[in-house]
Amino acid sequence: MPKFVRDTLLEKLWKRVAVNPEANACWLWTGSTDGHGYGQIASEIQFGSPVKTHRASWELAYGEPIPPGMFVCHKCDTPACVRPSHLFVGTAADNMNDCSKKGRVRKKLTAADACEIRGASGTHRDIATRFSVTKSTVTSIKAGRIWKYAEAMVAASALEWPRLSEHNRRKRDRPEG
């Protein structure tokens, strides 16, 4: 994401988010939403189609593009929430299971879980049982097909917006060179 796009998006996003100072509280987007409750920003950025705020938030917070074909899901089941620590990248199946309240039985993995699974020894079936996930999830994590960025996400988990925008502001006020 080019720097000017990043700064513009960050500003647009920040203006309409109700940041709740309580630990682990959702940060709700207060601007326009799509039919499913997801926040959106009208944008020139993505060929004129609106940018989904939770996706933008994830990319801005973690500094990585969302891997192709992957979805940004909510741990908190609140579509309007854009708090980076409430978001995770998942597969289409995760998106179906974790982004909807319907029929969810599997445990929701965190990036930390994914790291543990990646490092766990034993058969995939045993590991699956230990973490209450399916065997295919374990296989996919071990193969790096999903949760590719789990380690980076854990490392970046302290990085949230206020700090990021503070950082950007300082950079703008004091240009390099």
Chain residues that interact with Zn ion, rule: CB under 5 A: 26, 76, 78, 81, 83, 86
Dihedral sign, CA of 106, 104, 63, 162? negative
Q: Which of 143, 170, 159 is nearest to 59 (CA)?
A: 159
Contact 76, 86 (CB under 8 A): yes
Q: How far is the CB of 86 from Zn ion (least distance, A)?
A: 3
Q: How far is the CB of 82 from Zn ion (least distance, A)?
A: 8
| Torsion (CA) 43, 44, 49, 52 in degrees, nearest 10 | -30
Q: How far is the CB of 7 from Zn ion (least distance, A)?
A: 24
